[in-house]
Structure 1
Amino acid sequence: MDMEINRSEYKILIVDDVMSNVLLLKVLLTNEKFNIVTATNGQQALEQVKKENPDLILLDVMMPDMSGFEVAQRLKSDIETKDIPIIFLTALNSTADIVKGFQVGGNDFISKPFNKEELIIRVTHQISLVAAKRIILKQTEELRRTIMGRDKLYSVIAHDLRSPMGSIKMVLNMLILNLPSEVIGKDMYEMLNMANQTTEEVFSLLDNLLKWTKSQIGKLNVVYQDFDIVGAVRGILEIFSMVAAVKHIDIELKGADELKSLDVHADVDMLKTVMRNLVSNAIKFSNPDSKVIVQIHKEEDMAVVSVKDSGCGISEEDQGKLLHTDTHFSTFGTNNEEGSGLGLLLCQDFIVKNGGKLWFESQKGVGSTFSCSVPLTK
């Protein structure tokens, strides 16, 4: 590992009942700048571990009161000390002892008499593993805090902005209804209309942001119910007919008359969010005086809803970037309406959570069709 380790930050406990061994090891490792504490029997070793909290233990196997293997077993059975790596010091080179050492949780062996280079390499290797683990734990904790902060920020943004935006939206809707263009003049009416539309877009973006955050942090559970998807789609199209009319776009629903109703098993709110996003995108990317066609049909045990526009389409290169969390890709609508790319990610997330699929076909300059499938009621 190419890690710069400050050896003086690491403490090694040397345990051996032969004093000359302890001194030799102490000299060798102090020269390498490690911090050293010592013990001359098993009982003392256990006390030193509690008191000094070492990063590594060099443990002699053959000791009169308690063998190294026994000391290791005791350390490994205590939650506070079980993760401290142990290197056994042993004059025994029989396979049985080595196996026993690994069984009781040893990390390595050094045989006596010591070879100085081997000792230092083995000790440094164990310490570098400890150092790497520390870095990972520190980074994990930092990441956890960052993610918590981000999620908090998202929900604050979405929550706290939603209600004022909702109020503005209502005021603008009221104004538009009560101030026809003949009263306030064409230009003022256009501006009011523009403000109204922008507010609607910001509101739905906030809505998406809130739902996306909740979904990502696992706070959004799928609540399955059986409902008629034809009715749900009709309801959404009614809401959007006004937005579409402003851009002189016709929304046509196909397949609904033949089917009358079609029961699906899914989360009705999630599905409505998906439909709203797909229809609003279709309108956004449609040219004035064109059509958006919404079609519902059955395919085996799935209901498929597709939303087709004859708008600006998506180039092949950009198609690959859609529906990937990392690219967070978006383009401008035909009226230069800006998208966040979040809507489609949310749609995909919701549809997959409901056991369906989301896919699309698109041709630059010709238009796009976005489709999603949802399981039918069994």
Structure 2
Amino acid sequence: MGNPDATRKQLLIVDDTPDNLRLLAALLADKGYLIRKALSGAIALKSIDQAPPDLILLDINMPDLNGYELCEQLKANPKTQEIPVIFISALDDVLDKVRAFRVGGSDYIAKPFQGEEVIARIEHQLTIQSQKQQLQAEIQERQRAEQSLQVYLHVVSHDLRNPVLGMSMILKNFLKSAPGLEAAVAIPSSILERMAQSCDRQLALINSLVETQQFEVGAMVPQKQPLILADFLHNFQAEWEPLLAQHQAQLTIDLPPHLPALWADHNLFWRVVENLVANALKYNAAPLTITIGAQAEANHQVRCWIQDNGIGIPPGLAEKLFERYQRGEPAQGTLGLGLGLYLCRQIIEAHGGQIGVLAQTEPGATIWFTLPCSQDGPLVEMPEAVNSLG
């Protein structure tokens, strides 16, 4: 069972006169409030520091630290400045009341007071405080939603570029290899298939643009199915052949003879590999060798890695590489938004895996990640452990 006091409002009464404390405490306790008492400003500060109350009833004339001084200290502290303070004092001069409001008081009650008036003013201040807290929560939620939407739009824009560029390279290479052809052109089915696959990915990305809530942290839901890594990587390798050739890069697939199928979302996983390979091309000068490898691990996991022999990752950047808007200086092309690796982390973690950078002394960089195995997937046998394309 929950704590019945958890929803009751806590009031702190600060007064150096014990009779006043007892009178107010009895009045407010009968109304269901949790009451704390302090006989001095110093005691009140310690009590507030240990557990901030929901509202403070504060006398003015106290030795050592009077009510004005105590209120000023509370309003100067970010942790306590939002606690409403109601002054209760025998001082009934207008200047006393004005000073109380100037130091941050929310209300002022003159002694002798009526019990109904005290209750009404307390409830009024607690209502205002509750409304302020609700408004702040709504503002923060809206800011998070707007930030997620902005990031998602940047990510989709970022990811749309790669499939469009790949299809463009295929078409340009085809046109170069067949100059002077007229309207009728015989296109190999394999080329048409790669163009169709690229277009399918573009359509999937465009569709996902309107599903912005899927990019919220913890809300991305991969559509998992068994994925044969060898087939997947060879398809990726074939589609990226023109871009690799343009950058004088060689892509090597290095897989063991037997590897369980992955349990992953094909489209999301393509975006991970695409972003990692695109980053390797962007941040390294030609010629470049990129190796994609994998091995089965315990707990039904497959560990994959993408390694290049480029300039490597600076230590300061490696620690925060997968954070939002982190980016390096590209060796070629335009400066990106710093969202590609952030998206990779989101996708891998949505699959239940992890991603990181392998520390190494050799030139180049290695990014690794883990993905779950398909419990029902086949154990794939590869007659050729290494396949290269450059």
Q: TM-score w.r.t. structure 2 length?
A: 0.54
8 A contact 1:154–1:209 mirrored in 2:
no
| Inter-CA distance 156–253: structure 2 relative to 1 (3 Å threshold) | closer
Contact conserved, 1:312 with 1:367, CA < 8 A, in 2? yes
- Equivalent residues of 1:209, 1:342 under 8 A apart: no
For residue 281 of structure 1, give the secondary structure of its aligned residue in structure 2.
helix
- The residue type equivalent to 1:234 in the other structure is H
**What is the distance in 2 between the residues matched to 1:362 and 1:356?**
19
Q: Is the 8 A contact 2:304 2:370 kept in 1?
A: yes
Question: What does residue 253 of structure 1 align with?
Answer: 253
Give the one of 341, 345, 356 matched to 2:338: 341
Map residues 74-153 of structure 1 onto 2, 5 A cutoff: 93=23, 99-102=29-32, 116=90, 119=109, 130-148=127-145
Where do residues 263-342 of structure 1 align in structure 2 (5 Å cutoff)?
263-300=261-298, 301-325=300-324, 328-342=325-339
Give the structure 1 partner of residue 372 of structure 2.
375
Please list every run of 5 or more consecutive structure 2 residues that lacks an aligned counterpart in the other structure.
1-6, 14-19, 36-53, 58-87, 92-107, 112-117, 181-198, 376-390
Structure 1: distance between partners of 2:207 and 2:354: 19
CA deviation string 1:68-96 (max 9, x = no partner): xxxxxxxxxxxxxx9999999x9985988
Per the alignment, in what secondary structure is the counterpart of residue 268 of structure 2? helix
AA of the residue aligned to 2:233: V
Q: Which residue identity lines up with residue 326 of structure 2 in the other structure? A: F
Cα displacement (A) at 1:99: 4.7
- Name the structure where helix makes up a greater proportion of residues: 1
C-alpha deviation, 1:209, in angstroms: 9.4
Quick one: distance in 2 between partners of 1:102 and 1:239? 70
Note if contact 2:220-2:350 (Cα within 8 Å) is conserved in structure 1. Answer: no
Alignment of 1:209-220 (within 5 A): 210=209, 214-216=214-216, 220=220
SS in 1 for 2:240: helix
Higher relative contact order (CA 8 A, sep 6+): 2
Within the candidate set 347, 350, 353, 1:353 is matched to 350
Q: Deviations over 1:130-189 (max 9, x none)?
A: 554443333333444455555666677888999999889756753442145988xxxxxx
Are residues 1:174 and 2:171 paired?
yes
Q: Is contact 1:226–1:265 with CA below 8 Å preserved after alignment?
A: yes
**1:215-254 superposed matches below 5 A:** 215-216=215-216, 220-254=220-254
Change (3 A) 1:120 1:360: farther
In 2, the alpha carbon distance for the partners of 1:144 and 1:282 equals 36
Corresponding residue SS for 2:369: strand
Distance apart, 1:354 and its partner CA: 0.6
Q: Distance in 2 between matches of 1:237 and 1:373?
A: 20
* Contact 1:223–1:266 (CA under 8 A) maintained in structure 2: yes
Q: Distance in 2 between matches of 1:92 and 1:353?
A: 57
What is the SS of the residue equivalent to 2:31? Answer: helix
Letter in 2 for 1:138: L
Could you tell me how far apart the structure 2 residues matched to 1:109 and 1:366 are? 63
Q: Which stretch shows the higher mean deviation, 124-133 or 336-345?
A: 124-133
Query: What is the CA distance between 1:212 and its match in structure 2?
Result: 7.8
Count of aligned pairs between the two proteins:
273
What fraction of aligned residue pairs are identical, expressed as a percent?
16
Q: Decide whether the 8 Å contact of 2:169 with 2:242 is kept in 1.
A: no
The Cα offsets for residues 7-29 of structure 1, whole Å up to 9 and x where unpaired, read as xxxxxxxxxxxxxxxxxxxxxxx
Q: Which runs of 5+ in 1 are unaligned?
A: 1-81, 184-199
1:45 equivalent in structure 2: none
Q: Distance in 1 between matches of 2:253 and 2:214?
A: 32
**For residues 215-236 of structure 1, what are the alpha-carbon distances to aligned partners after superposition, in whole Å with 9 as ceiling and x for unaligned?**
1277642222222222222222
Could you tell me which amino acid in structure 1 is paired with residue 329 of structure 2? F
* Contact 1:265 1:374 (C-alpha < 8 Å) held by counterparts: yes
SS of residue matched to 2:358: strand
Give CA deviations for 1:324-349 in whole Å, capped at 9, x if unaligned: 23xx2101332244232211111111
Distance 1:288 1:208, change over 3 A: farther
| Pairwise CA distance, 1:362 | 5.2
Q: Look up the equivalent residue of 1:296 and give its one-letter code.
A: A
Provide the C-alpha distance between the structure 2 equivalents of 1:222 and 1:160, rounded to a whole number of angstroms: 20
CA shift, 1:296, in A, is 1.3
Give the counterpart letter for 1:236 in structure 2: F
> Could you list the per-position Cα deviations for residues 296-323 of structure 1 after superposition, in whole angstroms to 9, with x for gaps in the alignment?
1112121111000111211111222211
Tell me the secondary structure at the aligned position of residue 226 of structure 1: strand
TM-score w.r.t. length of structure 1: 0.55
